Structure 1
Amino acid sequence: MTGEGGEGEIDNETTEVVDVVPFATIVGNGRIGDALAKAGNCIVLGRNDKIDPNGDGPIYLATRNDALEVIIDECPTNRQKDLVFLQNGYLNSLLETKNLTTNTQVLLYLSVASKGITPTDGVTTYNPEGLTTACGEWATNFQQRLAALDLKCNVVSSIEYRPSMYEKLIWISTYMLVGAANDCRSVGEASKNHSQQIENIVNELVLGVSVKEGITFADGTMNRLQSYTDVVADFPCGVKEFEWRNQYFYDLGDDTVPIHNTLLKECSKKGLLSFDLP
């Protein structure tokens, strides 16, 4: 693959486990950071620790979204190209502002119930190859780290990554919203009891993104998202990190995504949101 995840041949096969995984710096020692560190050959930093300007290799950012801007700003300029973004949500605006749009990005389709627990991989009946996806210079490095943990990762081009990114954003925005609106304890409960509402919103968001971004989603979006939900059925519901998740769709406008926006407004009126809508 190319350094920017651009053109050229892409190897989608899971990398074989190597005796020693390539070195990496991991920022964040929560559930995800701890899980990645178990593969070894790494240094783990707290979000307030300094990144070595003389270091090399990828810097995996296993932190909350709201910590990213400070980490980027305090990262030595020569190391910013090595920052790897693992967060859920819509990061495009931040990456554009920081001139980091070609950095390695990862869609993590795995669940870690609590720190120290073995991760549940995003391997489903519909996608036995797994759903975790990475693009960019350090994508293969990340793939090897996951392989050492017996987890799967697909390395793709930046062009292939875009619809996958929006699809993950659709999943977390839709299932969290429908679950919260219907007082569901988990995404599995939301899926079981409100499948039609979920499908209506997913279809609406896919169309809205396709028109705005000029991208085409592979057939089977609903099947992929539903199969993943079955794997992480106990994941709790709640509309969180609005500016990183649902706001992208909310800003498409009521005419474009009326079902999504109406449901968000209903949740707001009922006091189910911890934030005010714009």
Structure 2
Amino acid sequence: MTMANTLTFSTSTLLHIYQKPISRINLNFKIYSSLSTSSTMANDATTKVVPAIIVGGGRVGKALQEMGNGDDFLVKRGEAMPMEFEGPILVCTRNDDLEAVLHSTPKSRWNDLVFFQNGMLEPWLESKGLGDADQVLAYFAVSKLGEPPIDGKTDTNPEGLTAAYGKWGSAVAERLLTGGLSCKVLDKEAFQKQMLEKLIWICAFMLVGARHPGATVGVVEKEYRSEVSSLISELAGAAAAEKGLVFEPAMEDRLCAYSRAVAHFPTAVKEFKWRNGWFYSLSEKAIALGKPDPCPLHTSWLKELKIV
């Protein structure tokens, strides 16, 4: 929003001295952090980023390539996937292009795919037998091709919010921190919770913003806080019930803090199938069973805007 269509930014001129992973037992993840200096980390002989195939030559793909050591293979739209190249396959396309990416990837390499997309990918991944696929929650943004990245660090999460999951999670984190971006490696349950939180952020802030034409994310957080708070609470309750999980306390505070960090981002309801559409499907399912709509406010506002 990766929270844009993907909220991700690239870097090319900063050197980053980084710390080794440290364990945070109470949070059940490893935090990768970095401090900026004046040169380029890629020139530091002590840092060796795992070479990767990068699918997608847009803002995110180019940003990831710049964080490497020059031995990545960039695959643009319509180009063939190299058969002999080992390592992770970083998928940085739009969600609607995922089907084509999968078809162009040898099935023997599907377990090396790392998905950087925003939104609810679980149903699609499970339909392809990829329920345990590597994923990245990119809480960083590249507003324009070639511009430096902005990390999603907030006053409530100064360690950063970007997270990776899967067998290539540590390799992805290493690449990001060489570009001056934070990244933590999570287990499956912790990652799913954060994925759902990010989904709730996108769905809530974009929908409330759409009700107030011209409102940026920051305007929504500042001027329409009560609306977005009600929607966050509603969507969180529906997601928790559907997935049988309990979110960490103070979700609203975390999501609003992130909104302040990216206050200039515009709002619009996009990629409905992958975002708000998942919550609307929960509403449709409940109503079909004669049960109350778990997301009545969400449904009402979607109808108000003639999205459904």
TM-score for both structures, normalised by structure 2: 0.82
Matches of 1:33 and 1:100, distance apart in 2: 22
Shift of 1:51: 1.4
Could you say which residue in structure 1 is the equivalent of 2:202? 172
Candidates 251, 258, 261, aligned match of 1:231: 261
Could you say which residue in structure 2 is the equivalent of 1:214? 244
Asked if 1 retains the 8 angstrom alpha-carbon contact of 2:116 and 2:136, the reply is yes
The answer to whether residue 81 in structure 2 is matched with residue 63 in structure 1 is no
Asked if 2 retains the 8 angstrom alpha-carbon contact of 1:24 and 1:58, the reply is yes
Asked if 1 retains the 8 angstrom alpha-carbon contact of 2:141 and 2:150, the reply is yes
Matches of 2:151 and 2:187, distance apart in 1: 22
Candidates 274, 281, 290, aligned match of 1:244: 274
Could you say which residue in structure 2 is the equivalent of 1:152? 182
Asked if 2 retains the 8 angstrom alpha-carbon contact of 1:47 and 1:71, the reply is no
Shift of 1:15: 6.5
Matches of 2:240 and 2:107, distance apart in 1: 35
Letter of the 1:256 partner, please give it: P
Could you say which residue in structure 1 is the equivalent of 2:294? 256
- Note the alpha carbon deviations across 1:83-102, whole angstroms, 9 max, x for none: 10000001011101111111
Candidates 51, 75, 100, aligned match of 2:105: 75
Q: How do residues 14-29 of structure 1 correspond to structure 2 at under 5 angstroms?
A: 14=32, 18-29=46-57
Shift of 1:11: 5.2
Could you say which residue in structure 2 is the equivalent of 1:130? 160
Cα root mean square deviation, aligned: 1.6
- Note the alpha carbon deviations across 1:31-66, whole angstroms, 9 max, x for none: 111111111231111032211222211000011001
Could you say which residue in structure 2 is the equivalent of 1:13? 31
Could you say which residue in structure 1 is the equivalent of 2:3? none
Count of residue correspondences: 262
Letter of the 2:120 partner, please give it: Y
Matches of 2:59 and 2:216, distance apart in 1: 19
Could you say which residue in structure 2 is the equivalent of 1:119? 149
- Note the alpha carbon deviations across 1:101-138, whole angstroms, 9 max, x for none: 11110111011111111111011110011000111000
Shift of 1:20: 2.2
Over the matched positions of the two proteins, sequence identity in percent amounts to 39
Matches of 1:195 and 1:227, distance apart in 2: 12
- Note the alpha carbon deviations across 1:231-268, whole angstroms, 9 max, x for none: 11111110010000001111121621011110110011
